[in-house]
């Protein structure tokens, strides 16, 4: 079929080892749909801690379906770009020793360009506490995790979905198995103009 585009295959070991299909459907010059790839490309892997794959990203809404290339490769930070979104899968292993966990999360925050660094109070609550200037909609696929806020927490199991409106939150896996979530983060008007205590 003429006009059929393909996307680059993953080069990193983390992407090659991502066990879940990321299927992208495109349209050729004749208007016929086809599958361009079944593999994830933008994957961060930290053994026995977390694996994360950016499924797709966009720099504006409404999204332009004529845009070329694998836009997950343009996502080099935790938050979506201004006016955009990022769809992501996250596999999180059970909680670690608190000191070890905080060290791992601090290093992760640097690599994903975390905008709002957690306070020592946040780290004391849980190593995974953080916030972003985004609207997040996240669903648990396998396993279970506690979604924590500054004041409370809720156990999430497969099929449960949380909507996070820019608030401080964290993930705590207290089970014996990794948990997989998937979701979308949309750029949002930040909470910065709200007075902080």
| CB-based contact 40:55 (threshold 8 Å) | yes
Q: Note the pLDDT tens digit of each residue in 27-45.
A: 888 989 999 888 888 898 8
When the pLDDT of each residue in the chain is averaged and rounded to a whole number, the result is: 86
Q: Note the pLDDT tens digit of each residue in 106-164.
A: 787 776 777 877 788 877 887 888 888 889 999 999 999 999 999 999 999 999 999 99
DSSP 2-71: TT----PPP-SHHHHT--S---EEEE-TTS-EEEEESS--EEEEETTTEEEEEEEEESSSS--TT--S-G
Give yes or no for residue 1 having a pLDDT over 50: no
Task: Tell me the percentage of the chain whose pLDDT exceeds 70.
Answer: 92
Q: What is the pLDDT of residue 2?
A: 52
pLDDT confidence tier of residue 194, bands split at 50, 70 and 90: low
Q: Note the pLDDT tens digit of each residue in 90-102.
A: 999 998 887 887 7
Q: What is the pLDDT of residue 112?
A: 72
SS3 100: helix
Encoded tokens for 28: 């050729």
Q: What is the pLDDT of residue 96?
A: 84
The domains of the chain are located at: 43-189
Asked if the peptide bond before residue 62 counts as cis, ω within 30 degrees of 0, the response is yes
| CB-based contact 76:43 (threshold 8 Å) | no
The whole-angstrom separation of Cα 104 and Cα 135 is 25
43-189 CATH, one of 3.40.50.150, 3.40.50.300, 3.40.50.720, 2.60.120.10: 2.60.120.10
Query: CA-based diameter of the chain, in Å?
Result: 61
Q: Note the pLDDT tens digit of each residue in 157-186.
A: 999 999 999 888 899 999 999 999 999 999
The whole-angstrom separation of Cα 132 and Cα 194 is 14
Q: What is the pLDDT of residue 179?
A: 97
């Amino acid at each position: 079929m003429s006009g059929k585009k393909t996307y680059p295959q993953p080069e990193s070991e983390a992407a090659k080892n991502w066990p879940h299909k990321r299927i992208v459907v495109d349209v050729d010059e004749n208007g016929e749909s086809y599958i361009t790839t079944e593999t994830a490309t933008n994957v961060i892997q930290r053994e026995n801690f977390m694996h994360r794959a950016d499924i797709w990203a966009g720099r504006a809404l409404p999204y332009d379906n004529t845009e070329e290339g694998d836009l997950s490769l343009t996502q080099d930070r935790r938050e979506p770009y201004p006016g955009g979104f990022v769809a992501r899968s996250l596999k999180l292993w059970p909680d670690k020793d608190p000191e070890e966990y905080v060290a791992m999360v601090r290093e992760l925050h640097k690599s994903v360009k975390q905008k709002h660094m957690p306070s020592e109070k946040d780290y004391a609550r849980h190593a995974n506490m953080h916030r972003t200037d985004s609207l997040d909609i996240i669903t648990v696929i396998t396993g279970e995790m506690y979604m924590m806020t500054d004041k409370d927490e809720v156990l999430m199991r497969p099929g449960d979905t949380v909507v996070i409106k820019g608030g401080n939150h964290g993930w705590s896996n207290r089970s014996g198995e990794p948990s997989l979530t998937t979701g979308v983060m949309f750029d949002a008007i930040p909470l910065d103009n709200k007075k902080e205590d």
